[in-house]
Amino acid sequence: MGVIRLIQDLMKHRRSIRKFKKNKFAIEKLCSIVNAGLLAPSGADQSPYAVIIINDEQLKIEIRQECELADKYFHTDSPRWLKEWFAKKNITPEKLFLTDAPFLIIVAGNTTMPYWLESTWIAITYIVLTAEEEGLCTLTYTPGRMDFLVPLLDLPKEYNPVVIIPIGYPDEYPIKSENEKENKIFFNKFGETNPTRLS
Ligand SMILES: Cc1cc2nc3c(=O)[nH]c(=O)nc-3n(C[C@H](O)[C@H](O)[C@H](O)COP(=O)(O)O)c2cc1C
């Protein structure tokens, strides 16, 4: 019961952070956070991903430049509703968080493994929630394209970059969005919102 409460608190309090303080924190803390990903369930228990931790300032600059270029195109080509959502959230192609956050965690999935993408995202969730437990904030950032990471990070060809997670201390305190979250949970049939007796 106690453990469930703690996890629910972490989930409720976690927010995507897009403004980070430059304050550093110990790499040991980060290693324990990314190791939590390995505790996640994965297809055939293969943990089919590699985690690359980045603190090289020049590399962060190069990654930011490529991401800003990719997101410029992504924002231009987005449908109107998404452009409006970006504007409401103040999300622009400028990605300061990629150079402000002291570390970037890049997770790349091994595409030759079964269920590689599903397993990789579950591990990412474990990482993000463990960061929260350690008092750190994250963003699951997925730029319009990530193939430039393959040569930059010397990734083997079977690995696809899946996410870039800046991690650090927040420099903003967003409240939970008021997005419509109704009509997501049904009972026995899609559309049935009345809980039926299960016993
Ligand atoms: C698969 C996935 C991809 C995402 N990609 C981006 C992204 O590219 N840029 C960004 O700013 N946020 C990204 N996010 C963060 C979402 O915008 C954010 O989770 C959502 O707005 C809800 O806000 P919250 O995380 O604070 O609850 C992504 C989240 C997920 C799960």
Structure confidence by residue, pLDDT tens digits, 188-198:
999 999 887 66
Whichever domain contains 53, its CATH number is 3.40.109.10
How much distance in Å is there from the Cα of 178 to the middle of ligand 1? Answer: 14
**Is 46 a member of any domain?**
yes
**Is 66 a member of any domain?**
yes
**Is 91 a member of any domain?**
yes
Q: What is the mean pLDDT of each run of 10 residues along the chain (199 residues)?
A: 81 96 95 97 98 98 98 94 94 97 98 98 98 97 97 98 98 83 90 78
Model-level pTM?
Answer: 0.95
CB 138, CB 69: distance < 8 Å: no
How far apart CA 142 and CA 128 sit, in angstroms, is: 14
Here the tokens at position 180 are 């419509």
pLDDT, residue 167, reads 98
pLDDT, residue 13, reads 93
Nearest alpha-carbon partner for 75 in 143, 14, 132: 143
How much distance in Å is there from the Cα of 38 to the middle of ligand 1? Answer: 22
pLDDT, residue 175, reads 87
pLDDT, residue 174, reads 92
pLDDT, residue 197, reads 63
**Is 178 a member of any domain?**
no
For ligand 1, pick from 19, 98, 118, 141 the residue to mutate: most ligand atoms within 8 Å of CB.
141
Here the tokens at position 52 are 């690359």
Range of the domain at 30: 16-168
Domain count, the chain: 1
pLDDT, residue 162, reads 98
**Is 81 a member of any domain?**
yes
- DSSP letter assigned to residue 43: G
Phi-psi region for residue 137, left (φ > 0), alpha (ψ -120 to 50) or beta? beta
pLDDT, residue 160, reads 98
- Which atom of ligand 1 is least distant from the CA of 71? 8
